[in-house]
Amino acid sequence: MEKFKNLGLSDDIIAALAKKGFTAPTPIQEQTIPMLLTGEKDIVGQAQTGTGKTAAFGLPILENVVEGAGHVQAIILTPTRELAMQVAEEINSFRGKKRISIATVYGGQAMLPQLKALKRGADIVVGTPGRVLDHIKRKTLKLSQISFFVLDEADEMCNMGFLEDVSEIMEAGGDNHRTLLFSATMPQAVMRIARKFMGDYDVVSVKPEKDEVALTEQVFHEMPERDRLEALCRVIDSQNDFFGLVFCRTRSDADRVAAALNERKYPAEPIHGDLSQSRREEILRKFRAKKCKILVATDVAARGIDVPDLTHVVNFALPQDPQSYVHRIGRTGRAGKKGIAVTLVNPNEFGKLRYIAKMTGAKIDKKALPTIDEVIEAKKSQMGEELHDIVTNGKHLSYLPLASELLEDNDPLEVIAALLKQSQGDILDKSAYRRIEEGAGRGGRGRVRFTACVGRTHGMTPRKLVDMICRKSRINPVSIQHVKINGQMSTFTVPGTDSDNVMRTVNKASNNGKPLLRRN
Whole-number pLDDT of residue 519? 84
| Cβ–Cβ under 8 Å, residues 94 and 17 | yes
Fold for the domain defined by 211-369: Rossmann fold (3.40.50)
3-state secondary structure 173-235: CCCCCEEEEEECCCCHHHHHHHHHHCCCEEEEECCCCHHHHCCEEEEEEECCHHHHHHHHHHH
The sheet that has 201-205: what strands, in order across it? 102-105, 124-127, 74-77, 148-151, 178-183, 42-46, 201-205
The better pLDDT of the pair 63, 2 is held by 63
Question: Model confidence at 511, in pLDDT bands (50, 70, 90)?
Answer: low
**Ramachandran area for residue 68 (φ above 0: left; ψ -120 to 50: alpha; else beta):** left
C-alpha 72, offset from chain centre: 34
Residue 208 has pLDDT above 60, yes or no: no
Question: Model confidence at 444, in pLDDT bands (50, 70, 90)?
Answer: very low
**128-140 mean pLDDT:** 94
Lowest mean pLDDT among 148-157, 298-307, 322-331: 298-307
Residue 350: CB atoms within 10 A of its CB come to: 20
Round to whole Å and give the CA distance between 475 and 452: 17
| Strand partners of residue 104 | 126
Residue 321 has pLDDT above 60, yes or no: yes
**Ramachandran area for residue 74 (φ above 0: left; ψ -120 to 50: alpha; else beta):** beta
Sign of CA dihedral 466, 469, 472, 476: negative
Residue extents of the structural domains in the chain = 2-205, 211-369, 382-432, 447-519
- Phi, psi (rounded to 5 degrees) for 61: -60, -45
CA distances for 207 relative to 45, 356, 357, angstroms:
11, 18, 17
Residue 443 has pLDDT above 50, yes or no: no
| Cβ–Cβ under 8 Å, residues 328 and 299 | yes
Mean pLDDT of the chain: 85
Residue 446 has pLDDT above 70, yes or no: no
Residue 91 has pLDDT above 90, yes or no: yes
Question: Model confidence at 163, in pLDDT bands (50, 70, 90)?
Answer: confident
Question: Model confidence at 334, in pLDDT bands (50, 70, 90)?
Answer: low
Question: Model confidence at 211, in pLDDT bands (50, 70, 90)?
Answer: very low
Question: Model confidence at 100, in pLDDT bands (50, 70, 90)?
Answer: very high
Q: Strands, E, within 240-364: which ranges?
A: 244-247, 268-271, 294-297, 312-315, 339-345
pLDDT in tens, 456-496: 989 999 888 988 999 899 888 777 888 888 888 999 888 88
**26-50 mean pLDDT:** 87
pTM above 0.75, yes or no: no
Lowest mean pLDDT among 110-114, 247-251, 337-341: 337-341
| Cβ–Cβ under 8 Å, residues 329 and 454 | no
Question: Model confidence at 374, in pLDDT bands (50, 70, 90)?
Answer: confident
Whole-number pLDDT of residue 295? 95
| Cβ–Cβ under 8 Å, residues 204 and 46 | yes
Nearest to 88 by CA among 110, 116, 62: 62
Same fold, 2-205 and 447-519: no
CATH class in words for 2-205: alpha beta
Whole-number pLDDT of residue 264? 87
Whole-number pLDDT of residue 367? 86
Half-sphere exposure of 265 (CA within 13 A, CB side): 6
Question: Model confidence at 304, in pLDDT bands (50, 70, 90)?
Answer: low
Eight-state DSSP code of residue 483: E
Whole-number pLDDT of residue 214? 56
**399-426 mean pLDDT:** 81
Orientation angle between helical segments 81-94 and 277-288, nearest 10 degrees: 60
What SS3 class is residue 345?
strand
Question: Model confidence at 371, in pLDDT bands (50, 70, 90)?
Answer: confident
167-172-174 Cα angle (round to 5): 115
Percentage of the chain exceeding pLDDT 90: 31
* H runs (alpha helix) in 264-312: 277-288, 299-302
Residue 209 has pLDDT above 70, yes or no: no
Fold for the domain defined by 447-519: Alpha-Beta Plaits (3.30.70)
Whole-number pLDDT of residue 442? 40
Round to whole Å and give the CA distance between 157 and 159: 5
3-state secondary structure 429-453: CHHHCCCCCCCCCCCCCCEEEEEEC
Question: Model confidence at 307, in pLDDT bands (50, 70, 90)?
Answer: confident
The better pLDDT of the pair 23, 296 is held by 296
Nearest to 124 by CA among 143, 106, 95, 102: 102
Sequence letter at residue 161:
G
Helix (H), strand (E) counts: the chain: 22, 18
Round to whole Å and give the CA distance between 226 and 442: 9
Whole-number pLDDT of residue 104? 94
pLDDT in tens, 401-414: 888 888 888 888 88
Whole-number pLDDT of residue 365? 87
Round to whole Å and give the CA distance between 452 and 485: 9
Whole-number pLDDT of residue 47? 78
